[in-house]
Structure 1
Amino acid sequence: MYATLPVVADGEFTVGMEFSSREAVIKAMKDYTIHRGVDYRVYESEPTTFYAKCWLIRVTKMQKKYCWEIRRYNGNHTCTRSTISQDHSKLDSKTVAEAIKPFVEVDPSIKVKSVIAEVQSEFNYTISYRKTWLAKQKAVESIFGGWKASYEALPIWFEAMCHKEPSPVVHFETMPAYKGDDLVPDIRVLHRVFWSYYLCIRAFRHCKPVVQVDGTHLYEKYKGCLLVAVSQDGNNNIVPIAFAIVEGETSDAWYFFLSNLRQHVVTRDGVGFISDRHDSIRSAIDWSNGTWSPPRAFHMFCIRHIESNFLRKFEAPYLQKLIVNIGYSRTIREYQMRYERLKERGEAYTNWLDRIPREQYALAFDGGYLWGHMTTNLVELNELFTRKRVEAEARINAGLVFSEMVTSKLHANQRASKNIQISCFDRENEVFEVHEMPSGVEYAVNLRQYRCDCGKFQVDRISCRQVFACCANQRLDWQVYVHDVYKMDEV
């Protein structure tokens, strides 16, 4: 900060002007040259003296006054430099960082291109991308703290979270610190941390019993991986349920994450569990003592990862859609038809696919545990909890029983059921034979086992059009055959 300065109408320096520090002197000179499109070079820079040439100014530290004072000044800087057109040597990343701090504080994710535009508007110079990037990093560090400080504050943040909300879960694992080969006594460093918020844990109780897990690499100063588990509610809202920062996608790291996930968040049994085919995940499941194996959980593979592996193996992009459709086949008939189509293109393709158990990648054989989910792509963690609760309560008050998503499906299925005829009914076993008109396609519907040959009833747990027709024929309540997860009070 500057000391009290004489008021100078034309913005010029004057002999006798005082500054509180050496830094204040340099900042004032930089601001002057940047805004006037001129420059200077440092001729002498000592602990008690600062002397700039071309435009002559000498500032000296005054011991008795505890300030820096301009002792010589040759007046208005009249010379210009043609090289100062797009950028300015004194408009360095530190100067830019100070100027953009208000913007970064409001939006830490502000794009570098936006910062360049702000600097151009403020200083009338277009600075380089690299200088802008460095300036933004310095502004972020100045406002929010550096990497080391943020890292050291991590336990404090988690402790604050535990005090602020009821029943969160935080589990640290640390390891000894070494300097070279020597153990540093009384110091331990972060190895892994797992956490889940109370709202996430509670929300999962009302979601579909499906969990998707995936990891993403961290590329800043402190490397490692962020592991995330998500689920989905009955209105297709994505619900993040657990997180971990680990050293990498190793078997030990996945075991750490999955064991904590099972112990603290996914406590119910009969869940579908979707991941990629990473060997470390499979090893972690093998070590889990049955907690992620049938009948407690049913491990499925993401069809997009299978598709990606297939293309890497065969380089046959024209078969990409067929591989995905095989996975999404809801009935055995659909699966066999698409499987044979792939086999016709080459037995090497189906031989490769046969190495993967079909109950781990195809809806027709998954036992209904996937609920129609086939990927780990629930990555858009949309705003949830408070806002969604308010919206849900409003719909309940309006008399809506089911979520918006399923209500639209139910209405469509109910309309389509009018073109279906019931040809046979086994009352004792609640089994129907139905015909779609005018196509004449036949379906068997088993209400007791929640199954229909269309495949949608058992996969989505929503009354399909055939079920609507059966209920209308026997005057049954079709709402009984819609899973509770789709009800508004669950959402």
Structure 2
Amino acid sequence: GFVDIKDAEVAGFSNFRVLHRIFWAFGQCIQAFNHCRPVLCIKGTPLCGKYQEVLLTAVALDANGYSIPVACAVVEGETKESWMWFLRNLEQAVRHPSDVCIIHDYKRELIDAIEDFLSSDQRQWRKVESRWCMEHLAEDFFAYFGDKKLVMMFKKLCQQRRLNKFVKIWKELDELTTKYTAEREGGTSGEMQQELVQHDEAGLVAQSPWNRPDSVDSEEE
């Protein structure tokens, strides 16, 4: 396994130290990641109760779509410095034979840390890509359009692996969202709603592991 602890001295007590940050990755999880997709989903979650820190996690998906907690850390907050510290430790602890992709939300502190991490010439991973989390984009998509069927089409578009189907869904979604926006600005949406009902909702529901109960962002569904 891999552990990194960062503590600090307390003024006036030379032999007394306080935990500042801790990072850990179990050996079994590190080995398991070598057999997973080369994708790590990183996220920060505030702790509750008397512990006011933040839990940072890096989660992978195996071939069956089940989530594997590759690494965790407890830090003082989601700052650029703490995220960079987490990414540096993650790079040292975890190896994968393929290039690694990091999926994340778009909090400013995290984006800044990832940009610095990707531009660093001291990186140990051979090649790293970063992508925004589909679930967070879908939340903003729903907040703007307010229609679940459009959101399901958007998720299906994000998960499509075949170019011809991707282009087909993209074109259809673009037409519907353009019409929806125009009708909403014009104060009418009945025709748009009727057209959406014609779509088979069951066929639009995403079937990827992201929508399973044990998925990385299942709590946001």
Conserved 8 A contact 1:225-1:247:
yes
The one-letter code sitting in structure 2 at the alignment partner of 1:328 is Q
Q: 2:8 — aligned with what?
A: 175
Query: Is 1:327 the equivalent of 2:142?
Result: no
Conserved 8 A contact 1:216-1:226:
yes
How far 1:262 moved relative to its partner?
A: 0.8
Conserved 8 A contact 2:33-2:96:
no
Q: Report the Cα distance in structure 1 between the residues aligned to 2:128 and 2:88, rounded to whole angstroms.
A: 13
Conserved 8 A contact 2:210-2:216:
no
Query: Is 1:337 the equivalent of 2:175?
Result: no
Q: 1:258 — aligned with what?
A: 87
Q: Report the Cα distance in structure 1 between the residues aligned to 2:77 and 2:32, rounded to whole angstroms.
A: 28
| SS of alignment partner, residue 192 of structure 1 | strand
Q: Report the Cα distance in structure 1 between the residues aligned to 2:84 and 2:164, rounded to whole angstroms.
A: 37
Conserved 8 A contact 2:38-2:100:
yes
Matches within 5 A, 1:78-477: 168-177=1-10, 183-186=11-14, 187-266=16-95, 268-288=97-117, 289=120, 291=123, 296-347=127-178, 377-378=215-216
Q: Report the Cα distance in structure 2 between the residues aligned to 1:286 and 1:342, rounded to whole angstroms.
A: 31
Structure 2: tracts of 5 or more residues without a match: 182-207
Conserved 8 A contact 2:66-2:215:
no
Q: Report the Cα distance in structure 2 between the residues aligned to 1:173 and 1:344, rounded to whole angstroms.
A: 53
The one-letter code sitting in structure 2 at the alignment partner of 1:378 is V
Q: Report the Cα distance in structure 1 between the residues aligned to 2:165 and 2:39, rounded to whole angstroms.
A: 24
How far 1:220 moved relative to its partner?
A: 1.1
Q: Report the Cα distance in structure 2 between the residues aligned to 1:267 and 1:287, rounded to whole angstroms.
A: 21
Flag the 1:308–1:263 CA change in 2: closer, same or farther, 3 A.
same
The one-letter code sitting in structure 2 at the alignment partner of 1:240 is P
The one-letter code sitting in structure 1 at the alignment partner of 2:109 is S
Q: Report the Cα distance in structure 2 between the residues aligned to 1:172 and 1:260, rounded to whole angstroms.
A: 10
Flag the 1:268–1:184 CA change in 2: closer, same or farther, 3 A.
farther
| SS of alignment partner, residue 223 of structure 1 | coil
Flag the 1:329–1:205 CA change in 2: closer, same or farther, 3 A.
closer
Q: 1:445 — aligned with what?
A: none
Flag the 1:328–1:349 CA change in 2: closer, same or farther, 3 A.
farther
How far 1:240 moved relative to its partner?
A: 1.6
How far 1:348 moved relative to its partner?
A: 9.6
Larger RCO: 1 or 2 (CA < 8 Å, sep 6+): 2
How far 1:188 moved relative to its partner?
A: 3.2
Alignment deviations for residues 434-476 of structure 1 (CA, whole Å, 9 cap, x no partner) = xxxxxxxxxxxxxxxxxxxxxxxxxxxxxxxxxxxxxxxxxxx
| SS of alignment partner, residue 287 of structure 1 | helix
The one-letter code sitting in structure 2 at the alignment partner of 1:325 is K
Q: Report the Cα distance in structure 1 between the residues aligned to 2:80 and 2:215, rounded to whole angstroms.
A: 22
| SS of alignment partner, residue 51 of structure 2 | coil
| TM-score between both structures, scaled by the size of structure 1 | 0.34
Q: Report the Cα distance in structure 2 between the residues aligned to 1:296 and 1:373, rounded to whole angstroms.
A: 25
Flag the 1:267–1:284 CA change in 2: closer, same or farther, 3 A.
farther
Flag the 1:317–1:233 CA change in 2: closer, same or farther, 3 A.
closer
Q: Report the Cα distance in structure 2 between the residues aligned to 1:349 and 1:328, rounded to whole angstroms.
A: 23
Conserved 8 A contact 1:212-1:274:
yes
Number of residue pairs matched?
Answer: 186
Conserved 8 A contact 1:328-1:374:
no
Q: Report the Cα distance in structure 1 between the residues aligned to 2:142 and 2:35, rounded to whole angstroms.
A: 37
Q: Report the Cα distance in structure 2 between the residues aligned to 1:229 and 1:222, rounded to whole angstroms.
A: 20
How far 1:241 moved relative to its partner?
A: 1.3
Conserved 8 A contact 1:292-1:298:
no
Structure 1: tracts of 5 or more residues without a match: 1-167, 178-182, 351-371, 381-491
| SS of alignment partner, residue 57 of structure 2 | strand
How far 1:342 moved relative to its partner?
A: 2.4
The one-letter code sitting in structure 2 at the alignment partner of 1:340 is K
Q: Report the Cα distance in structure 2 between the residues aligned to 1:348 and 1:274, rounded to whole angstroms.
A: 31
Q: Report the Cα distance in structure 2 between the residues aligned to 1:237 and 1:373, rounded to whole angstroms.
A: 7
